[in-house]
Structure 1
C-alpha cells in the first residue's frame, strides 16, 4: 500500500506569497472559489457519468483550458514530515504529481499540485479558484492517451482543517485532485490554506492514432 501525503501545504517559503508581499498589495490575490462551486451548493452542472479507468501510465502534461494552463508534470515524493514535495519554485509553469500514488486516469485518487505564485508573479495554478463545476482538465500520459476529467467541485480549506480522507481517500473510479495554496492571505505568514479541485474521468483520447 502506497503511503499517502499528509494534509497538503507548500513549505512556508513557497506558500508565503512573496510576489504579493513585494508588491505591497492584497488586491491581486488569486481567485477564491465561490460557494456555488462546493459539493453541497449550487446547480449540478457536471455529470456523474464516468469512463472506465485506464491502466497506470506516467502523466506528462496537464491542460486546463478555462484558466489557460498548459504545463509539464514532474514526479513528486514525500518530505521527511510526510507532506508532499513541491515543484521548484523558480519555474512558474511546472506542476507535479504524486508518483507513489495513483497515476491520473487509473482507478483511485491521483494528486497533482503546483504553486499559485512565486517571487516573480503568478504561477501555474494561480487561477485554480476561478474554475467551475463542469470545466475540463486534461492529462497527457506516457502511453499516448489523454485522460479527460470533469470538475465536480472546487473547495478551499484552512491548513488546520484540511480533510485528508476527503481529498486523498481511495475511490473505485478514476478521480483527480488538483491542489494549490489559497484561502486567506497574511503578509506575515502567507496563504492560510489550500484550494482543491475535485474531478473524475469522463473520457480518453488516443493521441497516437489521431
Structure 2
C-alpha cells in the first residue's frame, strides 16, 4: 500500500494533544491540532466472529482488545479506551475530561500483533496534567506493558523517541507497514503557538520483547 503524508490541519482549542488527519479513510493518520473526541466509526476490516461463522467460514477467535497501559519507570499506569474515526475522517483522541485515560487506535494493529499499534494520550488538558504528562521522561530500554481484556500482558522495550514538528509528522514511519510487532505512543510536546497549542508531537517507539 502506498502511504503519503497528509497536509497538516489544525483543530480545536484543548491544549495538550493533537488531532489526527487521515491520508485515506480508516487507513492512516497524522497528528495535527488539538481537540476533544467525537463519534467513532469502526474500520471496515473489523468483522465480528458471528458474521464469519454465519457465512460458513471457520470461526476465528477475535484478538483481545488492549485494556491497560503501564510504564513503571516513569509512574504511568491507566486504562485504555478505543479510538476510531470522526465523521470528518479524522481519528479520535480521548475527551479532555478523560485526560488520564489513553486510547488505542483501532485502525492500527492490536498491541503484540505484527504491525504498528498506536496509543494516543493527552499531555495536558484544560483540566490539568494528563496521562502522558511525564512521557518525555521515558528512556531507551524502558518497559511498556499493555494488558488486554483477558488479563494477558505484552511487554515492549523502548527503542527510540523523537519530538517532531506537527508540520513534518513522520506519518509513514509511525503508521506505515512493518513486520515488527511495534508499539508507538504519541502525545504533544514542545513550545506553544500563538493559539496555545503545542507545536510538536512526542513519539515513543517500542518493539515487543
Give a deviation string over 1:36-90, Cα, whole Å, max 9, x none.
xxxxxxxxxxxxxxxxxxx832000000112211110010012244332111111
Rounded Cα–Cα distance in structure 1 between residues aligned with 2:65 and 2:165: 30
Q: Are positions 1:135 and 2:158 aligned together?
A: no
TM-score normalized with structure 2 length? 0.71
Q: Cα offset for 1:193? A: 1.7
Q: Which residue of structure 1 aligns with residue 72 of structure 2?
A: 65
The list of structure 1 runs, each at least 4 consecutive aligned residues, that deviate by more than 6 angstroms after superposition, is none
RMSD of aligned Cα (Å): 2.1
CA contact (8 A) 1:77 1:98 kept: yes
TM-score normalized with structure 1 length? 0.71
Judging changes above 3 Å, is the alpha-carbon distance between structure 1 residues 81 and 159 closer, same or farther for their aligned structure 2 residues? farther
* Structure 2: gaps (5+ residues): 2-24, 38-61
Instruction: Report the number of matched residues.
Output: 162
Rounded Cα–Cα distance in structure 2 between residues aligned with 1:76 and 1:143: 19
Rounded Cα–Cα distance in structure 1 between residues aligned with 2:164 and 2:109: 23
Q: Cα offset for 1:183? A: 2.0
Secondary structure at the aligned position of 1:7 is classed as strand
* Structure 1: gaps (5+ residues): 15-54, 203-210
Rounded Cα–Cα distance in structure 1 between residues aligned with 2:33 and 2:75: 23
Q: Which residue of structure 1 aligns with residue 106 of structure 2?
A: 99
Alignment of 1:34-45 (within 5 A): none
Judging changes above 3 Å, is the alpha-carbon distance between structure 1 residues 97 and 13 closer, same or farther for their aligned structure 2 residues? closer
Q: Are positions 1:8 and 2:31 aligned together?
A: yes
Q: Cα offset for 1:145? A: 1.1
Larger RCO, structures 1/2 (Cα 8 Å, 6+ apart): 1
